[in-house]
Amino acid sequence: MDFSFTKYSKNITNQLTSLPLFVRWCLMLLLISVCIGTASALFLHSLQWVTAVRDTHRYLIYFLPIAGWLIGYFYKKYGQSVVQGVDLVLVNVKKPHYARIPWQMAPFVYGATLFTHLFGGSAGREGTALQIAGSISDQFTKFFGFSNDDRKLLMYAALAGGFGSVFGTPFAGAVFGIEVCRTKITSIKSIYIPFISAMLSHAVANMWRAPHSTYEVAYIPALDITALLYILLAAICFGLCSRLFCIAQDTLHHFFKKQIPSLPWKAFVGGLAVLCIVWLSQGYDFMGLGLPLIAQSFTEPSLGYYFLLKLLLTTITLSSGFKGGEVTPLFFIGATLGSFLSGWIDLPTALMASMGFVAVFAGCTKTPIACSIMAWELFGWKVVLFTTLACILAYFVSGKHTIYKAQREV
One digit per residue, the tens of pLDDT, for the chain of length 410 reads 444 545 444 444 444 346 676 777 888 889 999 999 999 999 999 999 999 999 999 999 999 999 999 999 999 998 888 888 888 888 877 776 666 788 888 999 999 999 999 999 999 988 889 999 988 888 877 677 777 778 888 888 999 999 999 999 999 999 998 898 877 776 788 888 899 999 999 999 999 999 998 899 989 999 999 999 999 999 999 999 999 999 999 999 999 999 999 999 999 999 999 999 999 999 999 999 999 999 999 999 999 999 999 999 999 999 999 999 899 999 999 999 999 999 999 999 999 999 999 999 999 999 999 999 999 999 999 999 999 999 999 999 999 999 988 776 64
My answer on whether 260 and 378 are in the same domain is yes
Start-end of H helices in 79-125? 86-94, 105-118
- What pLDDT digit, counting tens, does each position of 198-209 carry? 999 999 999 999
119 and 245 belong to one structural domain: no
One domain for residues 339 and 252: yes
Say if residue 164 is in the same domain as residue 249.
no
Q: Which of 177, 207, 237 is the last residue of a domain?
A: 207
Q: Does residue 44 sit within a domain? A: yes
Answer yes or no: are the C-beta atoms of 76 and 393 closer than 8 Å: no
Does 216 fall in a domain? no
Most distant CA atoms of the chain, gap in Å: 82
57 and 201 together in one domain: yes
CA distances from 370 to 100, 365, 391 (A): 27, 10, 9
* Domain presence at residue 217: no
- CATH number of the domain to which 255 belongs: 1.10.3080.10
Q: What is the pTM of this model?
A: 0.92
* Range(s) of the domain holding residue 246: 225-409
Distance separating alpha carbons of residues 64 and 239, to the nearest angstrom: 32
273 and 337 fall within a common domain: yes
Q: Report the run of H or E that residue 239 belongs to, with start and end.
A: helix 225-259
Tell whether 199 and 236 lie within a shared domain: no
Among the three residues 151, 174, 207, which one is the final residue of a domain in this structure? 207
76 and 202 both lie in a single domain: yes
Rg (Cα) of the chain, in Å, rounded?
A: 22
- Which of 207, 242, 276 delimits the end of a domain? 207
Counted domains in the chain: 2
Q: pLDDT per residue over 322-339, tens digit each?
A: 999 899 999 999 999 999
Classify residue 316: in a domain, yes or no.
yes
Query: Considering the domain boundaries, does residue 213 fall inside one?
Result: no
Report the chain's terminal Cα–Cα distance, integer Å. Answer: 45
| pLDDT at residue 342, as a whole number | 96
Q: Are residues 262 and 393 in the same domain?
A: yes
Claim to verify: residue 277 and residue 170 sit in the same structural domain: no
- Asked if 122 and 197 sit in the same domain, the reply is yes
> 392: left (phi > 0), else alpha (psi -120 to 50), else beta?
alpha
Residue 106: half-sphere exposure toward Cβ, Cα within 13 Å: 20
Examine residue 259 and state whether it is found in any structural domain, yes or no. yes
Looking at the domain assignment, is residue 383 inside a domain? yes
Residue 23 domain-assigned?
A: yes
How far is Cα 339 from Cα 303, in angstroms, rounded to an integer? 8
Q: Do 203 and 246 belong to one domain?
A: no
